[in-house]
Structure 1
Amino acid sequence: MFIIQLQFSTNKSQAKEYMPAHQEWITQGVDDDVFLVVGNLEPNRGGAIMAHNATSKEIHERVSNDPFVVHNIVRAEIIEITPKLTDKRLDFLLKR
């Protein structure tokens, strides 16, 4: 499981220009069953994604293709988590 933090960087002012492409990238991640949760970092600091169903290499590659990352609108930090205990509704996150 991964937590991806996308914090605004020096080109934040260009976010509006690349927002449609960034949203397509997010939709693709959800459609691919990789992104579980997508939301904003408050207040207006960027975004965060909870992801699974991919290797570390695949997540890093996917994140590197985000138009916001490509155009330095956000700085990405990827945190890998190995779940050990979950609420039963999240048992699918446990490695078997």
Structure 2
Amino acid sequence: MFILELTYTAELERIDEALAQHVRWLESHYAAGTFLASGRKVPRDGGVILAVGQDRAEIEALVATDPFVRLGLTRYRVTEFLATVTAPALEAYRQQLAA
């Protein structure tokens, strides 16, 4: 599982101008089953996405397709972790430690 942390590198006015494109991008990855949750950080200086994927390279390639990235409006920090404990609603995403 991955935590994708966005940090805006542009003014909020430019972020808001590209927001509809970013939301369409998010929706496509929710439909594909890659994204589980997302939202703005407080204060509004970026966002966070909870994602699933095969490996870090796949997720980093996906991040590069975000309109915010292509337009130079944000940078991402990708953190991979093993979700060994989950709420019941996320049980399908529970992971096991390697033996």
Normalising by structure 1, we get a TM-score of 0.87
Aligned-pair identity (%): 27
Bigger shift: residues 83-92 or 2-11:
83-92
Bigger shift: residues 12-21 or 67-76:
12-21
Instruction: Mark the runs of 5 or more structure 2 residues left unpaired by the alignment.
Output: none
Correspondence for 2:7: 7
- How many residue pairs were aligned? 96
Correspondence for 2:70: 70
Correspondence for 1:27: 27
What CA distance in whole angstroms lies between the structure 1 residues aligned with 2:54 and 2:41? 23
Partner amino acid, structure 2, of 1:39: G
For the residue of structure 2 that corresponds to 1:50, the secondary structure is strand
- 1:54 deviates by 3.6
What CA distance in whole angstroms lies between the structure 2 residues aligned with 1:75 and 1:53? 19
What CA distance in whole angstroms lies between the structure 2 residues aligned with 1:67 and 1:39? 16
